[in-house]
Structure 1
Amino acid sequence: MTLAVALAAGAGPGESRKRSRESEQDDLLTLERVARYPPPGTRVPVNFRFSDDGRYLYFLASEGNGVVRTLIRQDVASAERQVVARPPQEGPETGLTPEEVLRRERQRIQEKGITLYGLAAKADVAVFDWRGDMYLARPGKDALRLTETPSSEIDPQVSPDGTRLAFARDGELVVMDLATRAETRLTVGAREGVSHGIAEYIAQEEMDRSSGFWWSPDGTRIAYTEVDETGVPVYPIVHQGKPAWEVESERYPFAGGPNAKVRLGIVKATGGETVWVRLEDAGSDFYLPRVRWDEDGTLLVQVETRSQKSLKLLRADAATGAATALLEDRSDTWINLHEDLRPLRDGRFLWSSEASGFRHLELRARDGALVRHLTSGDWAVDRLEGVDEQGGWVYFTAAKDGPLQRQLYRVRLEGGPIERVTAEPGWHTVTGSTPPPRLRASFSRTAPAGRSA
């Protein structure tokens, strides 16, 4: 490769040898390269998502060699790429509230520029936040600034039809009409230690749940959490590396100490009274690791005991708040959380369980009854990646063919033999879109370099 570049540039033998030596130096794994950010080999596109019609694949990537990320979309058919939005301006990211700083830390975000974005489920509309304000991404145009307030907007999520935007500000949940920019505050009562629509520390740090609210599929309602941390002790953090000592006070739930009290409510997107989901059977000390809407307008809620030895799946009525238990997973040690709950159009749903000692996929009836096991064996499903309901296929990744690689497989919804989809050896990461059924798979291995398809 070095020789070809040198000849193309018209370089002489001496220059060619010099560039060859420089290339060899670049290939050396030194302590400096290991400690540098981003680490070698990690400057790759991230946060892949398909548009609602499957025509475009959205992702974040650096346009150069730095860590400033841009929102890009690629035409699936032609592979043509287009910049959807660039950061409005570069430089130090100022204006972040303490809550935003903590969210970035808990999500391990160290990059600059556009680090997160929201995409409508049923419209080609994308939004992102930048330095505490929200922007509407417009392909071929400058990003449109939606807010300019003293307070920061947190966790912007666009409605399924792309007409409204929900976010948290000053501990309250707010909805904006994107056409008029008129705002409607959906909650009241936030104060120091009490917030609405913001995930608490344990949910963000320990359970991989960074959001505290969820749009219903039809966009008429929003489920949200109310978090009361007033009983959690305040812990002082002393920053001694600054010119003057600075003390930061945070509420920290110590092991065995009081946790935040969390309630789950449902409110109309146009405003009104909150319907509280009745979780009395969960007791007074529990976690809400996962919340998801079903297509029929009911709410699927996962409730875990503080001991993390029991995980229940509940179905809640959005109009009354009444909740019915569908199933319970138990363990003598602890329950590993997962993202494998997938409601189907016919009312059934997919679930995964480690009851056998290995995580495997199950098809469940609407009431939670087991229909059939879809996978089994002395190997574990890593993640449910997508469902092609029309074709009758379930796609998942697993280390079925050995612990040093993760491959993409598929199995029929009605059961049958498992088929391997990916061919290259290595570790595959998959992004799915249904409908239409599309999958993006990337893989990494020692040599050659990883690729995306």
Structure 2
Amino acid sequence: MRSFLLIVSLLLSFPIIAAEQALKRPTLEALFGEGALALERPSGMMWMPGGREILYRTTEGDDEVLWLEDVADGARRRIVSWSEMTEALKEQRPNFRRRSLSDVNTASNSRLKPTVSPDGQILVGSTAGDLFRLDLENGTARFLTGDGEPEFYPTFSPDGSSLAFVRFGDLYWMDVATGVVHRVTDRRNRDTITHGVAAWVYEEELGLGRSFWWSPDGTKLAFLQFDSAGVDIVPIADVSMPVPGLERQRYPKAGRPNPVARLGVIGIGGGDPVWIDVGDKDQYLPRAGWTPAGEVWFQRLSRDQTVLELLAADPVSGESRVLMTDRDDAWVNIGDDLHFLNDGRFLWTSERDGWNHLYLYSEDGTFEKQLTEGQWQVGGVAGLDESQSTVFFSANAEDLRQWHLYALDLQTGKRRLLGRDVGGSHRFRLAPDGQYLIDTWSSLDTPPRADLVETADGTVVRELWRSGAELEGWDLLPVESGVITTEEGIELHTQLIRPRDFDPAKK
């Protein structure tokens, strides 16, 4: 989005009448081609387990290359190019269809998002509908599946010995050592039921994709089952074809039945699932997972989305209990900022005081304290470092138009700014061990770049990359920031780029 805004800003600053000056005029080729304003950057950047290496890909001509970079000294090691991996996979399957490396190393498509084994040795991705395994030590690749049905959401067990995934609406797991695949659930050819993959309304409206979670000991899977049998079938225009047609599909309407969700726990060794007591059918189960102690937790959201509850359940008996409740007469937002500490306490974000802030609860759901407060928002929890009693979170505490990362001491409540103390918007990827973070940032006059930051003192270790888009020497119009106050006293922040020949006296 920030890249798009930068491009729009540059486009709006094209001079209407060419002026004789040394500054260069922005052109479409300069913006989108291989030039000084091209927003080139590494893609698919992710931390490796242990937090000592960063995995990413770069574009080299028509090809893409996967790299590992050492955090300590910046040395990088070439893993493989997409063309090399394609040839290796073609030898195993001659009819293999070439796709871009971005299809298998991207965060934009969560169903195909790759996963790295806990020991950092293996990357598993999806291409041409099948899972493949890439050895990150020597760059060799081979297919793991080839049954004709696409596999989604490959996910390693905590110890890395097993790999779970969804195939045609059911859960499966693979023994990583032997490659043997085992079926976990069976929807018995009922096309209205899916296991482990979210129904459309959950994926589109509640931001839930992968709907299964490994237990801490790797012997069980908690999963959501969705049954759309009661959902209305409606005709929808298919405009993807040269001659549009009608496709009939189940599509929930306001006030009409939604898919019915059930939360189950099943052992990977076989047997029937234990169904968790989730209460009423006409509600949402937008999030779930496991506590460090081995209980199942899940969120329960009322149909009108005004009551959000956090519950814990016994995976053996299925009995559940409410830990805490958030209410709002108008609307309760859901998020992904629930974090459990090893002692059972948990962090929760809530807008109960009018601003999204951090709260700490005891293991049984008793409120302990509010960790942040003020007329600003917590954007999200980046991670925890329990050894230092520290939580890392993004917020716009300095300026409501800017996002920064902070470290907060859970004992004292003191917070400190991490990274460069500059304006703009910052996005963060915290290392698994909490020692470093990647700060990707940009501002109105600074194209996107990324820094490696040490969390202990917030200092920038080094610059990881910059987009290469240098604004110096270009004839760009200034961006004016302002505030419009509504009748209700609400401040709306604005940005304005005036035409080059703007005359305030004219209409």
TM-score (normalizing by structure 1): 0.82
What is the CA–CA distance in structure 1 between the aligned matches of 2:447 and 2:254, rounded to whole Å?
43
Q: Aligned with 1:204: secondary structure?
A: helix
Q: What does the per-residue CA deviation read over 1:248-285, in whole Å, with 9 as the maximum and x for residues that have no partner?
A: 333211122110011111111222221111112xx121
What is the CA–CA distance in structure 2 between the aligned matches of 1:93 and 1:261, rounded to whole Å?
38
Which deviates more, 341-350 or 121-130? 121-130
Q: How does 1:7-86 map to 2 (within 5 A)?
A: 24=24, 27-28=26-27, 44-59=41-56, 61-64=57-60, 71-84=66-79, 86=81
Q: What does the per-residue CA deviation read over 1:326-384, in whole Å, with 9 as the maximum and x for residues that have no partner?
A: 00000111111111111111211111111110011111110111111111111111111
Query: Which residue in 1 is equivalent to 2:354?
Result: 357
Q: What does the per-residue CA deviation read over 1:105-158, in whole Å, with 9 as the maximum and x for residues that have no partner?
A: xx9659xxx962112346543211111100112122222210111111122112
Contact 1:123/1:161, CA 8 A, preserved across alignment: no
Shift of 1:46: 4.5
Query: Which residue in 1 is equivalent to 2:251?
Result: 252
Aligned pair partner of 2:439 in 438, 441, 448: 441
Shift of 1:84: 4.4
Aligned pair partner of 1:315 in 287, 297, 312: 312
Query: Which residue in 1 is equivalent to 2:233?
Result: 234
Q: What does the per-residue CA deviation read over 1:176-232, in whole Å, with 9 as the maximum and x for residues that have no partner?
A: 111111111111124211111111112211111111111122211111111101111
What is the CA–CA distance in structure 1 between the aligned matches of 2:119 and 2:217, rounded to whole Å?
10
CA pair 200-241 structure 1, distance change in 2 beyond 3 A: closer
Query: Which residue in 1 is equivalent to 2:163?
Result: 165
CA pair 285-134 structure 1, distance change in 2 beyond 3 A: same
Q: Aligned with 1:444: secondary structure?
A: strand
What is the CA–CA distance in structure 2 between the aligned matches of 1:413 and 1:179, rounded to whole Å?
41
Identify the structure with bigger relative contact order (alpha carbons < 8 Å, sequence gap 6+).
2
Give 2:413's aligned amino acid: G
Contact 1:358/1:377, CA 8 A, preserved across alignment: yes
CA pair 408-266 structure 1, distance change in 2 beyond 3 A: same
Q: Does 1:180 align with 2:175?
A: no
What is the CA–CA distance in structure 2 between the aligned matches of 1:117 and 1:255, rounded to whole Å?
35
Query: Which residue in 1 is equivalent to 2:154?
Result: 156
What is the CA–CA distance in structure 1 between the aligned matches of 2:165 and 2:112, rounded to whole Å?
16
Structure 1 stretches lacking a partner, 5+ long: 1-20, 97-102
Which deviates more, 174-183 or 137-146? 137-146
Q: Does 1:413 align with 2:410?
A: yes
CA pair 147-83 structure 1, distance change in 2 beyond 3 A: farther
Q: Aligned with 2:297: secondary structure?
A: strand
Aligned pair partner of 1:337 in 334, 337, 348: 334
What is the CA–CA distance in structure 2 between the aligned matches of 1:436 and 1:124, rounded to whole Å?
21
Q: Aligned with 1:450: secondary structure?
A: strand
Structure 2 stretches lacking a partner, 5+ long: 1-20, 452-507
CA pair 238-386 structure 1, distance change in 2 beyond 3 A: same
Shift of 1:29: 5.3
Q: Aligned with 2:285: secondary structure?
A: strand
Query: Which residue in 2 is equivalent to 1:300?
Result: 297
What is the CA–CA distance in structure 1 between the aligned matches of 2:358 and 2:161, rounded to whole Å?
36
Query: Which residue in 2 is equivalent to 1:100?
Result: none
Q: How does 1:366-385 map to 2 (within 5 A)?
A: 366-385=363-382
Q: What does the per-residue CA deviation read over 1:14-43, in whole Å, with 9 as the maximum and x for residues that have no partner?
A: xxxxxxx9x956x4358x968x9xxx8665
RMSD of equivalent CA atoms: 3.1
Contact 1:287/1:303, CA 8 A, preserved across alignment: yes
Higher Rg: 2
What is the CA–CA distance in structure 2 between the aligned matches of 1:263 and 1:293, rounded to whole Å?
16
Query: Which residue in 2 is equivalent to 1:390?
Result: 387
What is the CA–CA distance in structure 2 between the aligned matches of 1:305 and 1:418, rounded to whole Å?
34
CA pair 241-162 structure 1, distance change in 2 beyond 3 A: closer
What is the CA–CA distance in structure 2 between the aligned matches of 1:49 and 1:248, rounded to whole Å?
38
CA pair 339-240 structure 1, distance change in 2 beyond 3 A: closer
Q: Does 1:426 align with 2:424?
A: yes
Q: Aligned with 1:355: secondary structure?
A: coil
CA pair 255-69 structure 1, distance change in 2 beyond 3 A: farther
Q: Aligned with 2:364: secondary structure?
A: coil
Q: Aligned with 2:60: secondary structure?
A: coil
What is the CA–CA distance in structure 2 between the aligned matches of 1:411 and 1:401, rounded to whole Å?
15
Give 2:195's aligned amino acid: H
What is the CA–CA distance in structure 2 between the aligned matches of 1:152 and 1:320, rounded to whole Å?
34
Query: Which residue in 1 is equivalent to 2:477?
Result: none
Identity of aligned residues (%): 32
TM-score (normalizing by structure 2): 0.74
Q: How does 1:64-143 map to 2 (within 5 A)?
A: 64=60, 71-84=66-79, 86-87=81-82, 88-89=85-86, 109=109, 116-121=113-118, 123-139=120-136, 140-143=138-141
Q: Aligned with 1:384: secondary structure?
A: strand
